[in-house]
Amino acid sequence: MFEFSAYVQILTSYTILGGVYGLTALGLSLIWGVMKAVNWAHGDTLMVGMYTAYWTVTLLGIDPYIAAIVAFLLLGLVGMGIHLIAIEPVIEKPGGHEATLLTTLGISVILESVALILWSPNPRSFQNVYKSTYLQFFGMRTSVAEAIAFTVSIVSIIAVDQLLKRVKFGKAIRAVSQNPIGARVVGINVPRIRLFTFGLGVALAGMAGALVATFYPNIRPLAGYIWDIASYVVVIFAGLGTIYGVIFAGIIIGITEGLGAIFLTNAYRHILVYIVFLLVLLLRPQGLFGKALRRV
């Protein structure tokens, strides 16, 4: 059986994972807020981010955090490509928002199939110093790789928040999400904002994938599913359209999953997440942070 310190260890790991859930969910939340589109390929783009890190580190021998920047930029471009193929052609048509469920599902199938063909279903991982170096604090032990993944996730979420609050282009993103007609009326190029937002959302997922890849033993073509589900839960939990809520909700979901791993065994750990999720939907359908943080 586990000792108490082992529990603390597991919860630390899942708290860290929760921070990355927050980053992944932020991408979804931005996309939903600006164009009311559901991106079913979000987890798959995270998977592509994992492979981007895997290949750039193993083939080019570069630092995994340079690989994370590469993944951010590459997936940003991929995201814009997906947007132009799957979102923009339908989004202004009648029923277009619902149509994105199908078009992004198509993208998801394509990304997974191509990944299976190119990279086989076998799980991979890669060695790096960050994963094998540990930090000790308050009796907890965590790899440097996990600590960095958590920190970079939180910093990135704060950076996006500042972009939306202070930069003119970021304010235009908020304007489109609050009132698309009003945004067009003041001369904002709304299709361009949509393109950029989708690209940014996918870039964040790609970066999250690369960050996780530094310590995750399971880089494989279907790795995205868990992330899709976790990040949708986080988005709805946080209340749509809130930024800091995403951090807290991510961490809460991470810890919940950790508690699931402790009390229900690893294989069933997600059940607890869904139970908590259903409770939130029943008791506070606007999300835990929906009202207090709406002003972002």
Partner 1 sequence: MVIHMLLELKDINAGYGDLHILWDVSLGIERGEIVSLLGSNGAGKTTTLRAISGLIRPFSGSIYFNREDITGYPIHRRVEMGLSLVPEGRQLFPEMNIVENLEMGAYTKRAEENFQDALEWVFNLFPKLKERKKQLAGTMSGGEQQMLAIARGLMNRPEILMMDEPSMGLAPKLVLEIFNTIMKLREEGVTIFLVEQNAKAALDISDRAYIIETGRITLHGPAKELLSMDEVRKAYLGI
Where do contacts with partner 1 occur on this chain (CB under 8 A)? 94, 168, 171-172, 174-175, 178-179, 181-190, 294-295
Q: Report in angstroms how near the CB of residue 178 gets to partner 1 at its nearest.
A: 4
- Residue 141 β-bridge partners: 136
Nearer to partner 1, 94 or 217 (CB): 94
Nearer to partner 1, 70 or 188 (CB): 188
Q: Report in angstroms how near the CB of residue 199 gets to partner 1 at its nearest.
A: 19
Q: Report in angstroms how near the CB of residue 39 gets to partner 1 at its nearest.
A: 23
Helices assigned H by DSSP within the chain:
4-35, 42-60, 64-82, 88-91, 96-119, 129-132, 144-166, 168-178, 180-185, 190-213, 224-238, 244-263, 269-283
Q: Report in angstroms how near the CB of residue 36 gets to partner 1 at its nearest.
A: 16
Contacts of 132 (CB under 8 A, 6+ apart): 143
Q: Report in angstroms how near the CB of residue 186 gets to partner 1 at its nearest.
A: 5
Nearer to partner 1, 151 or 179 (CB): 179
Contacts of 17 (CB under 8 A, 6+ apart): 212, 254, 257
Nearer to partner 1, 61 or 187 (CB): 187
What is the radius of gyration, based on Cα positions, of the chain? 19
Nearer to partner 1, 133 or 179 (CB): 179
Contact predicate 219/51, CB 8 Å: yes
Nearer to partner 1, 160 or 205 (CB): 160
Q: Report in angstroms how near the CB of residue 185 gets to partner 1 at its nearest.
A: 5
User: What DSSP line would sit under 231-264, residue for residue?
Assistant: HHHHHHHH-TT-SHHHHHHHHHHHHHHHHHHHHS
The one-character DSSP state at 267 is: G
